[in-house]
């Protein structure tokens, strides 16, 4: 090899003053050169598919991707109002961003030439037409080999359906440590789920705690926004999972079950400490709460962490409301309910049970006794279908029956009375709770079961969660769907012998919503006892008439402001069913919001 002169490097200095050679843009696009297949050219992004999760930016090894807020886009369930911008001064064209894209929106085109003296043009917000708004063929896209996401959920273990309806043993066994770690590893920590969760729980943070094996930290994250994580880890409606970005291409992360893993496996001392160590101050203020359901418990707990004295009034013998007297034992064990309520009590909240507001203490007396009052009285008056013989004394209703069932399974009462051939009318989760509970009682007592379930809609349009519909069928509940009850049938002695129903069909209306149309054709479903589970109404008996007339109530829901404050009554706050409707996690969110509102209100008076 020929030796170079020691002065060779100095020759490069001539380029310092030499005009650079630039190929005119016109020449480039007059005769474009076709890139090879699988070429990694400039990015394209389908904004209709993109959910703004930012996973592409997280994986980028050169920090070339920045998520930018986009004017006109709004945050919604499963979507952030952001899109990825790419700095081609940094980008190494490795395509990891495409490999991990959760929504299949990001790809790389065959366009690879960009010439400009303006450095800012190399920082680009790609859309479906690319950097020059000229459509090029897609070159690089993810394939099976380059897939980086684990799209399949690790299924939780549950009791096989054969024989499980012989007892009230909890159906779900929960994740083992290995399964929980595997499921937690699927989370991309984008936080899209947090917006959709009514309580805006710190979901990515507590899932990371599972992955890192720090369950004490996980419990701390849970108690930041939800003091009923034992309960919600079992029967939450898990709306967060409908927003999980992995659900775009596969199965969403099992967020609810990972929450349950934390509460089931955190040492008791650590769990109690996570709940009770948050009382940050002591304030000279007292708040009375009506109802010890999820909203009342949540509000009481967070007020207590702010330093207020809190009394919760409960009509029944035990606190808990719907979580103690509603959901069956096989879905929500008594030990789980007790653990959450005990921790709230240990934080300093006082429960006054067996006391009904409006009967044992008036609302006016509470106003005089406390600095503020939070009403979370719930929905406990059963609705009645407008059908013939609807007032027959042999008809039973879900709130009363499920409360009796819970007392029996916790050893505080006898097994409820029931017939051998029963009919349940409903369509939501509560109606399936009734049907499945009756199925168990019948098998425990008679060794056989005959529970017939009537609903106006087909299986795919029932309001109940999919797991309820599937599990009830597995357990032997007999479905009579697309049937609308028209009459409870009585014999000559006035005894129930069945329900007359009209045959129905579900069609889609012009707006795309399911609509039930019933025909004149009738049939009879035979049974000697009818249970109605078609919803409940609130009991506003504790409001004085003069006050009730001033409340703004629409469809049995009290109007409140953003802080949960009742309009026209600054000392009164409300939440839960009587504000938003029945949903446990939404009630928890209402209670937390009202606690903050009450604190702001009371601080403003000082």
Q: How far is CA 391 from the centre of its chain?
A: 36
CA–chain centroid gap for 460, Å, is 20
What is the predicted pLDDT for the residue at 144? 87
Dump pLDDT digits (tens) for 229-273: 999 999 999 999 999 999 999 999 999 999 999 999 999 999 899
Domain residue spans in the chain? 24-140, 154-277, 279-383+538-606, 385-534
The CA-atom distances, in angstroms, between 563 and each of 278, 357, 589 are: 22, 23, 11
pLDDT score at 465:
93
What's the confidence (pLDDT) of residue 449?
A: 95
Per-position b or e across 574-584, b if 16+ CB within 10 A of its CB? bbbbbbbebbb
CATH class of 154-277: mainly alpha
CA atoms of 30 and 25, how far apart (whole Å): 9
pLDDT at 364: 96
Beta bridge partners of 168: none
Total Cβ atoms within 10 A of residue 494: 10
Helix (H), strand (E) counts: the chain: 20, 23
pLDDT digits over 470-519, tens only? 999 999 999 999 999 999 999 999 999 999 999 999 888 888 788 899 99
Fold designation for 279-383+538-606: FAD/NAD(P)-binding domain (3.50.50)
Question: Please, which residues bridge with residue 574 across strands?
Answer: 375
27, pLDDT greater than 50: no
Q: Which helix (H) or strand (E) holds 198?
A: none
Three-state SS for 167? Answer: coil
**Tens digit of each residue's pLDDT (9 = 90 or more) over 395-417:** 999 999 999 999 999 999 999 99
Same fold, 24-140 and 385-534: no
Q: What is the mean pLDDT of residues 212-223?
A: 96
**Dist. CA 118–CA 110, nearest whole Å:** 23
7 pLDDT band, cuts 50/70/90, is low
User: Over the chain, what is the mean pLDDT?
Assistant: 93
Reduced to 3 states, what is the DSSP secondary structure of residue 187? Answer: coil
Which residues make Cβ contacts (< 8 Å) with residue 168, sequence separation at least 6?
328, 329, 330, 409, 440
pTM for the structure as a whole = 0.90
Flag whether pLDDT at 128 surpasses 70.
yes
Query: Once rounded to an integer, what is the mean pLDDT over residues 554-561?
Result: 93
15, 156 in Cβ contact below 8 A?
Answer: no
- What CA–CA distance (Å, rounded) separates 337 from 295? 14
What is the pLDDT at residue 4? 60
Rounded distance, CA 313 to CA 466, Å?
35
Quick count: other Cβ atoms within 10 Å of Cβ 16?
A: 6
Homologous superfamily (CATH) for 385-534: FAD/NAD(P)-binding domain (3.50.50.60)
- 332: buried, middle or exposed (CB in 10 Å: 19+, 13-18, 0-12)? buried
Q: What is the pLDDT of residues 164-182, one digit of tens each?
A: 889 999 999 999 999 999 9
pLDDT of amino acid 25: 53
* Mean pLDDT (whole number) for 570-598: 95
Segment holding 310, helix H or strand E: strand 309-313
Distances (CA, A) of 529 to 392, 419, 468, 490, 515: 10, 6, 22, 11, 29
* HEC secondary structure over 52-92: CCCHHHHHCCCCCEEEEECCCCCCECCECCEEEEEECCCCC
With a CB cutoff of 8 Å and minimum separation 6, the contacts of 119 are 89
What would the mean pLDDT of 375-403 be, rounded to a whole number?
Answer: 95
Q: How are beta strands 350-352 and 309-313 bridged, if at all?
A: parallel
In this prediction, residue 34 carries a pLDDT of 72
Question: Among 82, 26, 28, 20, which residue's Cα sits nearest to residue 51?
Answer: 82
- Which one, of 462, 585, 591, lies nearest residue 533 by Cα? 462
Q: How confident is the model at residue 23 (pLDDT cuts 50, 70, 90)?
A: low
CATH entry, 24-140, from 3.30.70.3270, 3.30.70.260, 3.40.50.920, 3.40.190.10: 3.30.70.3270
What is the distance between the alpha carbons of residues 340 and 565, in angstroms, rounded to a whole number? 26
In 483-588 the beta strands, taken as DSSP E runs, fall at 483-490, 496-508, 514-526, 529-532, 536-538, 553-554, 557-558, 572-574
Q: Is the dihedral of CA 180, 181, 187, 191 positive or negative?
A: positive
Q: Alpha-carbon distance 111 to 35, whole Å?
A: 7
> Higher pLDDT residue, 280 or 84?
84
Listed range (116-125, 273-282, 379-388, 571-580) with the worst mean pLDDT? 273-282
Rg over alpha carbons for the chain, rounded to the nearest Å, is 30
CB-based contact 547:389 (threshold 8 Å): no
State the DSSP string of 220-267.
HHHHHH-TTHHHHHHH---HHHHH-GGGGTSPPP-HHHHHHHHHHHS-
């Amino acid at each position: 090899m020929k030796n170079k002169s020691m002065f060779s490097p100095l020759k490069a200095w001539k380029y310092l003053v030499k005009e650079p050679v630039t190929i005119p843009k016109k020449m480039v696009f007059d005769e474009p050169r076709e890139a090879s297949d699988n070429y990694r050219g400039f990015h394209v992004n389908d904004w209709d598919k993109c959910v703004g999760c930012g996973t592409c930016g997280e994986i980028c090894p050169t920090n070339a991707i920045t998520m930018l807020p986009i004017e006109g886009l709004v945050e919604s369930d499963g979507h952030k109002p952001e899109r990825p911008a790419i700095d081609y001064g940094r980008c190494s064209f490795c395509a990891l961003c495409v490999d991990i894209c959760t929504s299949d929106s990001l790809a790389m085109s065959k366009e690879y030439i960009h010439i400009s003296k303006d450095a800012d043009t190399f920082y680009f917000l790609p859309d479906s037409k690319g950097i020059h708004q000229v459509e090029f063929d897609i070159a690089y896209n993810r394939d099976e080999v380059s897939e980086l996401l684990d799209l399949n959920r690790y299924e939780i273990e549950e009791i096989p359906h054969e024989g499980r309806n012989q007892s009230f043993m909890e159906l779900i066994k929960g994740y083992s440590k290995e399964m929980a770690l595997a499921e937690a590893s699927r989370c991309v920590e984008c936080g899209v789920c947090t917006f959709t969760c009514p309580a805006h729980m710190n979901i990515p943070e507590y899932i990371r705690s599972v992955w890192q094996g720090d369950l004490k930290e996980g419990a701390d994250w849970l108690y930041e926004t939800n003091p009923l994580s034992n309960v919600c880890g079992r029967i939450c409606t898990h709306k967060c999972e409908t927003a999980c970005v992995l659900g775009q291409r596969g199965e969403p992360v099992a967020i609810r079950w990972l929450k349950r893993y934390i509460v089931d496996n955190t040492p008791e001392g650590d769990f109690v400490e996570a709940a009770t160590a948050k009382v940050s101050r002591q304030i000279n203020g007292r708040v009375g709460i009506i109802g010890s359901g999820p909203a009342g418990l949540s509000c009481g707990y967070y007020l207590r962490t702010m330093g207020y004295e809190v009394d919760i009034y409960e009509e029944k013998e035990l606190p808990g409301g719907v979580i103690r007297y509603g959901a069956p034992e096989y879905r929500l064990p008594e030990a789980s309910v007790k653990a959450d309520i005990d921790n709230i009590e240990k934080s300093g909240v006082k429960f006054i049970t067996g006391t009904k507001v409006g009967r044992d203490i008036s609302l006016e007396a509470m106003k005089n006794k406390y600095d503020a009052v939070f009403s979370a009285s719930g929905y406990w008056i059963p609705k009645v279908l407008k059908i013939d013989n609807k007032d027959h004394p042999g008809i039973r209703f879900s709130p009363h029956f499920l409360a009796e069932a819970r007392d029996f399974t916790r050893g505080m009462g006898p097994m409820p009375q029931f017939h051998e051939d029963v009919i349940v009318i409903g369509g939501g989760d509560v109606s399936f709770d009734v049907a499945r509970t009756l199925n168990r009682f019948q098998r425990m007592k008679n060794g056989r079961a005959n529970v017939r379930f009537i609903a106006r809609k087909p299986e795919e349009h029932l309001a109940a969660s999919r797991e309820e519909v599937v599990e009830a069928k597995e357990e032997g509940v007999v479905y009579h769907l697309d049937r609308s009850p028209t009459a409870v049938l009585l014999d000559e002695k006035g005894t129930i012998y069945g329900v007359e129903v009209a045959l129905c069909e579900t069609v889609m209306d012009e707006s795309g919503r399911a609509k039930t149309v019933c025909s004149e054709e009738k049939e009879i479903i035979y049974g000697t006892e009818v249970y109605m589970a078609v919803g409940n109404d609130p009991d506003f008996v504790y409001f004085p008439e003069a006050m009730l007339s001033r409340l703004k109530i629409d469809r049995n829901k009290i109007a409140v402001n953003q802080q949960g404050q009742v309009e026209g009554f600054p000392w009164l706050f409300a939440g839960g069913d009587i504000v938003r409707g029945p949903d446990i996690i939404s009630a928890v969110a209402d209670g937390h919001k009202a606690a903050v509102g009450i604190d702001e209100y009371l601080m403003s008076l000082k």
